[in-house]
Amino acid sequence: MSEPLQRSEVVESTILAPARITPLPEDLRDYLFKYDLSACQTCNACTSGCPITGTPGQEDWDIRKVIRMLSLGLVDEVVESKFPWLCTGCGRCSEACPMGIDIPAITGHLKHLRPRDKVPGILHKGVENVLKSGNNMAVPQNDYYFLMSDLGQELADEDCPGFYVPIDSQDADIAFFPNSKEVFADNKDMKWWWKIFYAAREKWTIPSQNWEAVDWGLFTGNYEATQTLAQRKMDFVRDNRIKRMIMPDCGGGSYGCRKGMAICAAEDPANQVNFIYLHAYLKELFEQGRIKVDKSKNAGKTFTWHDSCKHGRELERHFGHGYFEEPRWVIQQCVDQFVDMEPNRMRAYCCGAGGGMWPGPYEDESAFQGRMKYESIKNSGANVVVTSCSNCRDQMMRRLPKYFKDYEYEVMYIWELVAESLIIEPWSDEEIEAAQAEAKAQWERLGFDPESFL
């Protein structure tokens, strides 16, 4: 950017008037300098790829206009608008941009500039909750313990004798972080991962505190929260000598964690831990022969894969590897009939739920932004859409069918598909007895009596 960015005060008039230019604050000028907005050719490629374009009630706004406004210094006007909060951060704009401008980073910073008491909906409340209580929903620790004990026993009684949920186990091979929406409401959704760990005889654990998987700091432009949440996860892994952590399932949670970890590593290169993405982990279990499945359980249905923007396109752009091929490979271990949606991979359509749009207050706008994803599903002819992001799953399963009713389909997590396809080899009596003894010792160590809640 050859000239310093300036802020223009728009003169309200019935005729065009010269803009009075005043300098932008230095920190904002320095931030926007990194993205060289003067490189924008106003070619409209970003607008054509953006799901916001044409949103009812926002017809006068599009991303090209926003970039030009910022170039002219009209930052306050954009920050005070609804536009940044409608951005899902899907990255289709930057993928299309011939100059490679990182537009999602810019819209994320515009969220950062909004006063916290003016963040729309429940998003900032969730950030306050997670910083104070360790999870977005402020679930009390005893309630968390009881759920893990009770639901774990339920799974042991159903399919997996000897199963229990290991908490704060040291020297585990895998650290796993629960999603608070599942702990708060969708309890049984946790069982799918648990069944996989059980079948694989995985040595895994979850935290007793600071267990939240999802990063709402990313959704609100709260850089400090994103760094704090990533640091908490790394501290848990290191303090308990755990070999690897599975990156959170939510696309935003994973991406936010990577961003936060990058900030931590920039401050201290030694501040890092080993991690693996869920897609690569599932593929690894198959390749090592640790799990087996029965494809016939899924006969008669055609499956397709939803490329989550953050697990795919944005990881590819910022960290060099998007998870496109691994999930397709995993799905095809479980099913005989698989088709791709069009477009897919780097050019896949956003579902409309990212950037906080699923829990946010803009349901109509979110559904509109998911219209092209719905068309992709419908045109694929698939009966089942498989995904790896909790927000994407809820959007495609719960929101889009309320607005688009002429095609019916199911939605599954990829780990749900694997869990429902498993052939579980029975544990020996010795393994079951050892696990039951471990569970009893764990609850005594944590000072929690499961029977007291019954």
- Average pLDDT of the residues in 2-12: 43
Q: Tens digits of per-residue pLDDT, 206-265? A: 999 999 999 999 999 999 999 999 999 999 999 999 999 999 988 778 899 999 999 999
Contacts 24+ apart (CB under 8 A), 189-193: 189/413, 189/416, 190/151, 191/151, 191/155, 191/419, 192/413, 192/415, 192/416, 192/418, 192/419, 192/420, 193/415, 193/419
Cα gap 293→391, rounded to integer Å: 27
The pLDDT value recorded for residue 68 is 87
Q: Tens digits of per-residue pLDDT, 383-403? A: 999 999 999 999 999 999 999
Whether 454 has a pLDDT exceeding 90, the answer reads no
Report pTM. Answer: 0.91
3-class SS of residue 378:
helix
Cα gap 94→103, rounded to integer Å: 6
Cα gap 94→50, rounded to integer Å: 9
| Lowest-pLDDT choice from 8-12, 63-67, 336-340 | 8-12
| Lowest-pLDDT choice from 23-27, 29-33, 310-314, 388-392 | 23-27
Q: Tens digits of per-residue pLDDT, 319-331? A: 999 999 999 999 9
Q: Which residues, including other chains, have CB under 8 Å from residue 407's CB and lie 6 or more apart?
A: 374, 377, 378
**What is the length of the chain?**
454
Cα gap 1→36, rounded to integer Å: 5
Closest CA to 152 of 143, 165, 161, 140: 165
The pLDDT value recorded for residue 252 is 79
Cα gap 258→261, rounded to integer Å: 5
Banded model confidence at residue 8, pLDDT cuts 50, 70, 90: very low
Q: Tens digits of per-residue pLDDT, 170-184? A: 999 999 999 999 999
Asked if 262 contacts 394 with a C-beta cutoff of 8 angstroms, the reply is no
Strand partners for 387: 413
Banded model confidence at residue 41, pLDDT cuts 50, 70, 90: confident
CB atoms within 10 A of CB 441: 10
Residue 336: both structure tokens together? 């005989």
Q: Tens digits of per-residue pLDDT, 418-441? A: 999 999 999 999 999 999 999 999
Asked if 181 contacts 137 with a C-beta cutoff of 8 angstroms, the reply is yes
Whether 29 has a pLDDT exceeding 80, the answer reads no
Mean pLDDT score across all residues of the chain: 91
| H/E element, 365 | helix 363-369
Geometric angle at alpha carbon 166, from 163 and 171, rounded to 5°: 125
Banded model confidence at residue 16, pLDDT cuts 50, 70, 90: very low
